[in-house]
Amino acid sequence: MVSTVLVVTALEDFTADKVIAALNEREVPVVRVDPADIGPALTFGFRVGQDSAVWGGRLRTASREVELGEVAAVYYRRPTPYAARFAHLPPQQRDFCVAEARHGLGGVLNHLHGASYVNHPAAVTRADFKPAQLDRFAELGLSIPPTLITNDVEQVRQFAAEYEHLIYKPFRGLPVGEDGHAGAIWAQRVDPASFDDALSVTAHLFQAEIPKTGDVRVTVVGQKVFAQQIAAPDGALDWRRSNWDELIHAPITVPAPIQAALHRYLSSFGLVFGCFDFALTGAGDTPGHWTAIECNPNGQWGWLPDAPAITEAFADILSRKEAADHDDARRL
């Protein structure tokens, strides 16, 4: 039976384009689908029951068609939210259609028998909470910044009294505004003396500032580890707020104990891939120099200098060339 890779993502996805191109070069069948296209441009008929104990049927896009049983791997990237497809409807109808599409079409695509997921959306959801990430880092013996999550201004002031500099960062990015664009709030130093009781409105994440010598992005795909030290020319606290075309990159070796911890981290969440951010407090040649900041279980990597090698690592996983066992990231 043909082994097809199903790529679940939006139409404009530069990162997915790289992986699809690599799979095409290997002559691996690929079907790209955005579930939010549901309608005339995306139709399906799935059955389970008397003749089969697993879901079967065909999925048709405007240019491709695939039998569910042919799907050997799913590259779950960044599909368009279902809500965008039904935004024109009144609220009650919109919410109903969104829920039906997510639980019907999404429910089948997320439970394909025998398919490997990179990464499974349920695993991404579990691993997407910063409190869970920090907790797991600590369990694995990695250094983390002293952290406070609170909505109490007095708690912040007490926390600040223990450390020279305090950093605030959001748990999530800003949602899309009425203009259709999403903004960003970067990690930034804050003065607790400027806070008032308005802090009680929602949860906030504060961390002691690490006296870092640099930042590192570590991309792990299966058993392969790629790491780049990143510096902003303007010395910004958060390099993401700089012009990415002007960032300075340099390859760096991740100490073996850190690598082992990252593999255990991914395995514990049922992930195959993750983008880790670290703060360095030295040259980076010993584990003690590495402070774990966060892990994006569906992070961007297409802009990194080692993107070609990362692309091949994804193609290895999806075409099942890599021999490593990823049973923990298969169908949940």
d(CA 266, CA 264): 6
Per-residue pLDDT of the chain (332 residues; tens, 9 = 90+): 458 999 999 999 999 999 999 999 999 999 999 999 999 999 999 999 878 889 999 999 999 999 999 999 999 999 999 999 999 999 999 999 999 999 999 999 999 999 999 999 999 999 999 999 999 999 999 999 999 999 999 999 999 999 989 999 999 877 776 666 667 788 888 988 888 889 999 999 999 999 998 999 999 999 999 999 998 887 778 887 777 778 899 999 999 999 999 999 999 999 999 999 999 998 888 998 999 999 999 999 999 999 999 999 999 999 986 533 444 444 44
Q: Which two tokens stand for residue 85?
A: 């497809």
pLDDT value of position 324: 37
Cis peptide bond upstream of 119, omega within 30: yes
Residue 70: which of 124, 125, 30, 122 has the closest Cα? Answer: 30
Residues in the chain, overall count? 332
Backbone angles phi, psi at 60, to 5 degrees: -125, 125
Alpha helices in 113-272 (DSSP H): 121-127, 130-139, 153-162, 256-269
Q: What is the pTM of this model?
A: 0.90
**Nearest C-alpha neighbor of 291 from the set 107, 147, 82:** 147
Structure tokens belonging to residue 7: 């790529």
Q: H or E segment at 296?
A: strand 290-296
The per-residue pLDDT for range 269-309, each reduced to its tens digit, is: 999 999 999 999 988 889 989 999 999 999 999 999 999 99
Identity at 60, one-letter amino acid code: R
> How would you class 260 by CB atoms within 10 Å of its CB: exposed for 0-12, middle for 13-18, buried for 19 or more?
middle
Mind listing the domains of the chain with CATH numbers?
4-114 (3.40.50), 146-208 (3.30.1490), 211-329 (3.30.470.20)
